[in-house]
Amino acid sequence: VELQVLNEIANNIGDSGIVSLVQTLCQPSSLDTEQNPPGNKRLSTAPHYNTTLQELYIGNNRGVTGAGPGRVAQLIGALPALTWLNMSGDEYTPVHLSDTAA
């Protein structure tokens, strides 16, 4: 089963939650580390990130400030199949993503 859509809208996970989620999606899979233990130069060293996630919905989470979406903007380049990202703010927590975050 390949993950193509992940919806975490309105789960109150805050900045740390959305950043942790996206960091996890951007890390090599555990299978890669099992097949390519550190120091083993014979096997391919290219990590395999999530290459199937096309849509990520992480908007409308309370406690999200500009810091969380700013970090997400820095990380999403490691998700090559991603074509849709929803980081819309919670109506009670205004979010401002600075021009320098991306």
Which residue intervals of the chain are DSSP H helices?
A: 14-25, 30-35, 67-75
Contact 38, 48 (CB under 8 A): no
* pLDDT digit string (tens) for the chain, length 102 residues: 689 999 999 888 989 999 999 999 988 765 545 555 555 554 444 455 788 999 999 988 888 887 888 899 899 989 999 999 998 876 655 545 554 444
Selection from 74, 88, 97 nearest residue 10 by Cα:
88
pTM, to two decimals: 0.70
According to the model, what pLDDT value does residue 37 have?
56
Q: Distance between CA 78 and CA 50 in Å, rounded? A: 8
Q: What angle do CA 22, 28, 31 make, to 5 degrees?
A: 130
According to the model, what pLDDT value does residue 28 have?
74
According to the model, what pLDDT value does residue 101 have?
46
